């Protein structure tokens, strides 16, 4: 069993496809172990994406992630980190496999609907950034 952090980004929340995205996770065998809605401040978004600090897209990315509410989830399952990334599709929606969330719903490299942790250490950091252990079931 592995845990990963999933975020439905502000563009996904605005498109009103939260249920559709969760259905894809559940159908693939992932379980929602924790869930809440939040509106990040710019500072919270900067802390979350600190790994990208200094990159040309960092300021725009953190503006985007703090411009509206998101849905935060801890997903649990076998190989959850890789499975979630597979369901999301490539960062650039034009390169995402058909049937993935980003292929179906993303509108640019930036506005790509979902976030998913990319490794066990980042999953641990990202889950603890938003959830207390007592909020995860």
Q: Catalytic residue positions? A: 115
What part of residues 116-135 is at the interface with ligand ATP (CB under 6 A)?
116, 118
For residue 126, CA distances in Å to 4, 108, 115 come to: 8, 24, 11
10 binds ligand ATP (CB under 6 A): no
Q: Measured between alpha carbons, how far is 87 from 67 in angstroms, rounded to an integer?
A: 25
Cα 69 → chain centroid: 13
Number of alpha helices (DSSP H) and beta strands (DSSP E) in the chain: 7, 4
Binding residue (CB under 6 A) for ligand ATP from 4, 62, 84, 112 = 112
User: What residue is closest to ligand ATP based on CB?
Assistant: 91
Interaction mask 47-76, ligand ATP, x per CB under 6 A: ----------x---x---------------
- Give strand pairing partners of 96: none
- Chain residues binding ligand ATP by CB under 6 A are 57, 61, 91, 109-110, 112, 115-116, 118
């Amino acid at each position: 069993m592995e845990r990963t952090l999933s975020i439905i980004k502000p563009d996904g929340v605005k498109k009103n496809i939260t249920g559709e995205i969760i259905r894809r996770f559940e159908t693939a065998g992932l379980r929602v172990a924790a869930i809440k809605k939040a509106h990040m401040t710019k500072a919270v978004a900067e802390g979350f994406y600190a790994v990208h600090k200094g990159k040309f897209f960092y300021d725009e990315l953190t503006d985007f992630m703090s411009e509206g509410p998101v849905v935060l989830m801890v997903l649990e399952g076998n190989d959850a980190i890789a499975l979630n990334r597979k369901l999301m599709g490539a960062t650039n929606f034009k390169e995402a496999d058909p049937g993935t969330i980003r292929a179906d719903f993303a509108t640019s490299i930036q506005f790509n609907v979902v976030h998913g942790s990319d490794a066990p250490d980042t999953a641990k950091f990202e889950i603890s950034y938003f959830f207390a252990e007592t909020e995860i079931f």
